[in-house]
Structures are given as C-alpha cells and as structure tokens.
Structure 1
Amino acid sequence: MRKLLWPLGLAAFALSPVPLAAQTTLTLERALEQALRHSAAITAAAREVEAADGALEQAGARRNPVLNLTLEDTRSQSRTTTATVDVPLELGGQRGARVAAAARARDVAAAELARTRAEFRSRVTEAYFAVVVAQERHALAAKAVDLATRGADVVARRAAAGKASPVEATRAQVEQAQVQLSAAEANAAWQRTRFALASLMGDGEPQFDQVSADVPNALPRPPLAELAAQLEHAPMLAAARLEVGRRRALAEVERTKAMPDVTLSLGSRRDNELGRSQAVIGLSIPLPLFDRNQGAIREANQRADRAADDELDLRRRLLVELQDASSRLAVANATLQTLQSVVLPAAQQAQEAASRGFEAGKFGVLDVLDAQRTLLQARSHYLDTLAAAHRAATDIDRVVGR
C-alpha cells in the first residue's frame, strides 16, 4: 500500500485538511469490520438462515397420531366404549420430498447471506473511497483558496501602487470568490460522504475525523475471460442457481401430494352389555376422483421454469456488468497513468515557470493564478479518475463476490 501522493514533487501540497496528529483516522479495514458487525441487512440474512434451519427441522417431523374416544349410550350397563388411534401414513415419498425442499431453501438462505455480505462490503468500500476523494478534494479546495487569496492580495497591493490596473484587481477578487464557493461545495461534499460512511458503519454521526489516504490506485483485475469463469461461483449467481433447485424440489413436493395419505386406525371396543371387548381396525383412503393436486403441480413446475429463466437472465446481466466494469477500469487506469506521467508534471512545470516569471517581472499575477488553477484542475481530474477506477474495481468485486 503506497500513500496517495502527487507524483514528481507534488507532495509539498498537504492533502489533509488539518494535521494528522490532531485527527482520528479511519482505515478501510476498520470501516469494513465495524460495518459488517453492525449491518442490519446481514443480521436479517443470518436470521433467515436460522429460520430455514427451523423449517428443515419441521419438514422432517412425522405427523402426529390422533386419539379417538366414542361412547354409545350413557347408561353404564349398556354402554359401548370405542377407543382408537389414527396413524397417518404418508405415501409416495412425501416426507422425503418435503425435507429435500427445506434443505434447498436452507441452501438458498445461506447463499443469500453470502450475497448480502459481498454487496454490503462493496457498498462500504465504495463509500470509503468516496470519502477519500472528497477529503482530497477538500484539501485541494483549501489550497486553491489560499492561492487565490494571496494572489488577490498581491494584485490589490500592485493596483494601489499603480503597478496594476483596477480591472486586474477586480478579476483577482472574482477569482477568489469563485474559488471560495468551490471550497464550500467541496467541504459540503466531504461532510456528506463522511455521514454516509458513518451510517453504513452503524453510527448516527461520524466517529472519525478523516480516513486514511494510504490507498493505492485501483489494482488491475483479471482478464474478462477469467472473470467470467469466476462468475460461476459468484454469490448472486449461486443464489439464483440454488433457487432453481429449491423450486424443482417444491415441484416434487406437489407431485407427491397427488398420492393420497392413508390413515390406519387401531383400537378396541368395550360392550358393557355383552361384557366383552373387541379389536377395532380401520383403514381410511381418500379417493382422488376430482382433486389430484394437478393445479398446484402445474404451478410449481412453471415457477421452477421461471426460476431457471431468471438465472439465465441474471447470468447474462452479470456478464454485461463485468464487461462494463472491466472496460471502465482499464480506461481509468490508462488515464491515471497518463495523468501521472504527462499531465500533472507538465502542469506543475507550467505553474513553477509562471511563478518564476512573475518574480522576474515577466508575467502578471493573473498568469500565475491561471497556471495554478490549471494545476489544481489537473489534480481534480486525477481524483475523479481515481474514484472512477475504484468504483469500477468495486463493481467487479461485487459481481464476482470478492
């Protein structure tokens, strides 16, 4: 991890709004740790896994027997008492199909938990780098205000001494006011991103003053073909694939329901008038003449087919997202290289040349301010590109589930 500093001597400009020693600095690792620990979305997904465990346990339970007691005649001398126990018998593999469906549902819940974790990590990482960029932009804006203020003061003194025109002094004041407005917007954006990150971490307001700027440029990701291969194990696609299995299992549950349950009755009948007891054996078999669960079977099969179509559609959409993010990352990294090797050094040299020329009396102060503004704009472009690179990298990580 290398510190985010401007190349070729540009580190002379401070990137932190206030001295580091007086600040509470948040790192990406600590932000992720706290956010994952306090995430309500992850907690909810974990509870769904626990609920699925309960459903799996219930699916394996056998049906309870039923105790029946019948009295015929209220007189004890002629009373007939019948006691039976009805034992439901599930046929056609109903219990096994029910357990299999519950197990698939548990797998889906676990995959959803992994997907939620991956997406939440992506959100926190993106929010963290948004703070990094806003923090750097805030520092650049403060530097621009300082430069514009000093330039306006110099032009005002030169105009008072008759060495510069009032028009030039007015232009310097306008420049200063515009830079101050930009600084106010940069400060508001910095505060907004800090609160957004704090919210993801479970805090009502930021408990940190700044984030660590010790971050590298977005590292290149594998080629698209390799990313597409990793897509097979991505949490989002895994969840969709397991959902297809769950729907197929539910269709099997509905198919087994077409086989009617048989109820076996075992008991005894006591005839007080005759003074004897008789064994009672019964068998109850529903006749599937009208309801063979055909509608539910059709519904379950169609929903299973829809889940397969949804998985295919998701696979295609994720592949498109990977292609887009991979392309954006490649362009951003190439732009960063050009900015670091060509644009920023050239802007720095132009600013230094303008400053030396101003000291030698060859350039006016507005020329110096213009060169300084060009340098600051180049740095701002660098920050925008750096943020775009990290967003693209984060999108790739979110899709493949890193």
Structure 2
Amino acid sequence: MSKKLMNPSMSKGNHDSSWKSLKKNAVICSLLLWSFALPVKAETGTTLTFTQALQRVQQYQNSQDTWQTQEQISAANIKQSKLWRNPELSIQQSGFDSKNERELSVGLSQPLDIFGERKANQRLAHLSKNQLDLKQKIYQAQLQLAVKYLWSQLAISELENNVVREQLKVSEANLNAVNKRYQAGSVAQVQVDRARLSHAENARLAHQADLKVQVAKQQLSNLWGDSDKGISTGLSASALWPTATNQQVQAYLAENLVEKSRQLQVLEAQAKVDQLQIQSKPLPTVNVGMNQIKSPETQTDNQIVVGVSVPLNIFNRQKYSIEIVKAKENLLNKQQIFYARQNALQIGTLLTELQGLEAQFKKVEQVQLPLASQVQSKTLLGFNAGKFEVTDVQQATLQLQEVRLRKVQLLREAWQLAIEAESLSLGIEPSQVIAKDAIAQINQNLWQDTQALPVVGGEN
C-alpha cells in the first residue's frame, strides 16, 4: 500500500523535474529562433521610382558614346556618298635620247556619272542614317523594358519579404500559444516540437526572402555601375499591379519602331538593286590630254587629245547580284506581313491572360486574404480557449500563408506577361529584356553593329 502511495509522489517529482527542463528548453529554443530571425530586418534607404532608376541607367549607358560614334560614321557616310570618283593622271614618254625623236603624252581621265551612281549612294547613306535613328529609339525602348523588369522584380521581392515577415509573426504567436497550452498540460511535447519546426521554417523563409531583396537591389543598381543595397521601391501590392500595360502596348503599336525598321530594310534592298543596276551599265570615262612630239629636225609639235573610253560589260553585268538582293527583298516583304499578323495574335493572347490574372488578384486581395486572416485569428483564439487542436491552428496558418504567397505569385506572373506584351508590341524578343544580363547583351549587339556599319560610296 505504501508503495502505491509513493508512486504518485515520485511521479509528481519526475513530472516537475521534466516540466522545468522542458520549460528551460523552450525558452532557449525561442531565443535561438529569434536570434536566427533577427538578421532578416530590411535595410532602410532611398525610395527609388521607376523613372528615377531609368534616368540613372540612361545617364550611365550614354557615357559609352557608342551612339555618338555611330552618328559620326553615318554623317561621314552621307558626305562620302556625295563625292565624285577621283580622276586619273597618266604621263608617258618615249625616246630619251636628244638625237632621236621624243614623244610626251599627258592625259587626265575622269569617269562620268551619267546614270546616277552618286544619287544611288546618297540614297543608301540617308536610308542608313534613318535606320540608325530607329535603332537608337529601339535601343532606348529595350533599355527601358530591361530596367522596368528588374525594378518590378525588386518591388515584388520587397512585397514577398513583407509577407514572409507577417507570416513569421503569426508563427511566433502560434508557438507562444502552444507553449501556454503545454504549460497547462493540455497538449503533448510533440505538438510543441511541431510548432517549433514550423516557426524555424518560417524563419528560414524570412532569410531567403531577405536575400532575394538584396540580390534584386544589386541587379538593379548594377545597371548604373553601382552596388547599392540601400534602394527600395516602397510600393504596396495594389500599387504594384501593372495597370498601364494596355495603354503602353497601344502606344508602342502606334509607334511601331521595328515595323518601320523592316520597311527601311525593304527600301534599302530596293536602293541596293538600283545601285547594282547602275553599276551594271557601262560607265564612260572622258580622257583629255596633250601629246608633245619633238625631233632634232623639226620644231616641237603639240597636239590636244580628247577621247572617251567605255567599258564593255560583257561578262559581269551584276545579274546574279541583283537576283540575290531581289530575293532578299521579296523575303522581307513576306516576313513583314507574317510578323504583323502573328505578333498581333500573341499580344492579344498575353493581354487576355493578364486581364484574367487581374481578376484573380482582386479576388485574392479583397476576399480570400481577409477571410484567411480572419479564420487564422479565430482559430488561434479558439485554440487558446481549448476549443481547437494544434493541427487546426497549423492548417489555418498554412492556408493564410498560401493565400499571401499566391498574391505575390500572381504579381510575378502579371509583370512577366506585361513585359512580354510590351516587348512584342515593340517588336523585341522578350528574352532580350528579361535576361539577367539583358543590358550587357544589348550593348554587345550595339558594339558589333557599330563595327559592322558599311562605308557607302567608298570607291575611288
């Protein structure tokens, strides 16, 4: 009997000892979790709008002077195309002995531009200048889209970071509630461990979200040659939605820079055909000179010589060169029609999808998110009152987290579609502006185009 009476006492002593140990472990665990979560505090710094970011990037990129170099080349091409072909001076003498007859011939030959070769060169040079102006506008549009994409990624990363922080607070409240229930003896140790594991995962996600923000800041600031970790967009979720996409797409379609560039390519092909046809014609050359004949017996005899030489274009009449250029011209015309049709269809599909995402976003923000927050809050209150289990709290918390992250994901998808639609409306491949090294690739293509610029009318 005494043995039975001692068992409760011994059990109680062991329980008190275990309780103190668990309580101590719980305090230590909470401190460790807080020390793990503290570094995710966001840095405060300069609030940067998209317009300000674009101005910084444009100023930095313009310092390369690439476009100024292309403009100099284009201007020099126009001047070069206006020049006449150089004349040719010929001097011949026969007989170098003063006792014999000597003959000196001096002649000047000048090719005549009677078929309009200079005008054809000037037309090509001016078309090249117009193409350069369009390419510069397209470059600025590409630059703007690349900056807009990285700026939007920073804003979305900041929003995601805020969402994860809010979820971390909810997780902390859940852990405190479970600890209180455990202290009251109404939940098991394993349920406390589950709450700690969930809180630790939320702390890890907070670190991950903070890292995304820091990387996004560096990727954006790298575009103006800096590594600024103090910038931020400071936008709310509702203000971040790309509402101006439709208007921007219509403006780009109206301007239609790439379509104009293709039209210029067709005109350049036609001008090249005209130039080859002119070159296929025999270009006459006027020869003016003087012959001087001097012999010991007679006086010096001077004769003026005037003549015309005409090349015989028998073998090479640029026939096949003209065929090649005409084939390219025909292909450009077909591609222009095909591109316009397909591009319009793709843009329409993207805008339709964007509109559908906006409806989902509004439902998540206005209906699902408030409801999920309310359910989680009431579930936690009910759990504190002993009406719900830990699994109920965890399920409500998980649903709240899913809804919050769904809002962020919808924003990511919306900006992806917006950038793609704006890119296609400009005639730009979307991958050219959403790549991590988009600006570097654009500049590389620009430098290559500069080196490949033709010299118009450079023949002597």
**Which TM bucket (shorter chain)?**
0.7 to 0.9
Please give the secondary structure, in 1, of the residue aligned with 2:292: strand
Comparing 111-120 with 392-401, which one deviates more in the overlay?
A: 392-401
Paired residues, what number?
382
- The answer as to whether partners of 1:76 and 1:272 remain within 8 angstroms in 2 is no
Cα 1:46–1:308 change in 2 (3 A) is: farther
| 1:103 Cα offset (Å) | 1.5
1:48 to 55, 59, 70: 70
Shift of 1:162: 2.3
* Contact 1:233/1:400 (<8 A) preserved: no
Alpha-carbon distance, 1:157 to partner: 4.9
Superposed CA deviations along residues 52-110 of structure 1, whole A, max 9, x for unmatched, are 33222222221111222222222356432222111111232222112112222222222
Query: 2:81 maps to what in 1?
Result: 59
Tell me the residue number matched to 1:101: 124
Q: 2:140 aligns with which of 100, 117, 121?
A: 117
Equivalent in 260, 266, 286 of residue 311 of structure 2: 286
Shift of 1:49: 4.2
Q: What is the rounded CA distance, in whole Å, between the counterparts of 1:43 and 1:369 in structure 2?
A: 59
Matched, 1:384 2:405: no
Percent identity over paired residues: 19
Match of 2:396 among 353, 371, 381: 371
Partner of 1:91: 114
SS where residue 87 of structure 1 aligns?
strand
CA shift for structure 1 position 196? 2.2
Distance 1:150 1:356, change over 3 A: closer
Aligned equivalents of 1:32 and 1:221: distance in 2?
17
Query: Letter of the aligned partner of 1:262 in structure 2?
Result: P
TM value normalised by structure 2? 0.75
1:91 aligned partner, one-letter code: I
CA distance in 1 between partners of 2:378 and 2:256 (Å)? 53
Deviation string 1:278-337 (CA, Å, 9 cap, x unpaired) is: 112121100111111111111111111122223223323321331122112211211122
Task: List aligned pairs for 1:306-321, cutoff 5 A.
Answer: 306-321=331-346
Equivalent residue, structure 2, for 1:163? 186
Shift of 1:399: 3.2
Tell me the CA shift for residue 366 of structure 1.
Answer: 5.1
Whether 2:359 is the aligned partner of 1:334: answer yes
Residues 223-267 of structure 1 show CA distances to partners (whole Å, capped at 9, x for unaligned) of: 99x94x963531122211211111111111111111121111112
**Structure 1, unpaired ranges of 5+:** 1-16
CA contact (8 A) 1:220 1:330 kept: no
1:262 matched residue in structure 2: 284
SS in 2 for 1:39: helix
Instruction: Report 1:201-216 matches (<5 A).
Output: 201-206=223-228, 208-213=230-235, 215-216=239-240
> Are 1:244 and 2:266 matched, yes or no?
yes
Which one-letter code corresponds to 1:334 in the other structure?
A: A
Contact 2:372 2:396 in 1 (8 A): yes
- 2-structure distance, mates of 1:75, 1:102: 53
Greater shift after overlay, 333-342 or 201-210?
A: 201-210
Q: Which amino acid aligns with 1:284?
A: S
| Residues 213-228 of structure 1: pairs in structure 2 closer than 5 A | 213=235, 215-219=239-243, 221-222=245-246, 227=250
Q: 1:248 to 1:169 in 2, by over 3 A?
A: same
- State the 1:165 CA deviation: 0.7
Give per-residue Cα distances to partners, 1:156-186, cap 9 Å, x unaligned: 4543552321121121122123223322332
- Residue 196 (structure 1) aligns with: 219
Per-residue CA distance 1:191-238 (angstroms, 9 max, x = gap) = 332222223x232523533223164422155599x94x9635311222
CA contact (8 A) 2:245 2:422 kept: no
Query: Which residue in the other structure is 2:454 paired with?
Result: none
- Partners of 2:410 and 2:72 lie apart in 1 by 43
RMSD (CA atoms): 2.8
Q: How many angstroms apart in 2 are the aligned matches of 1:301 and 1:327?
A: 40
Structure 1 position 19, deviation (Å): 7.2
2:324 aligns with: 299
Mapped to 1, the partners of 2:377 and 2:176 lie a distance apart of 20
Q: Within 2, Cα distance between the matches of 1:328 and 1:49?
A: 41
Code of the residue aligned with 1:335 in structure 2: it is: Q
Bigger Rg, structure 1 or 2: 2
CA distance in 1 between partners of 2:190 and 2:335 (Å): 66
Structure 2 contact 287–306 (Cα < 8 Å) conserved: yes
**Distance between the aligned counterparts of 2:290 and 2:365, measured in 1?**
94
Q: Structure 2 CA distance, aligned partners of 1:377 and 1:27?
A: 29
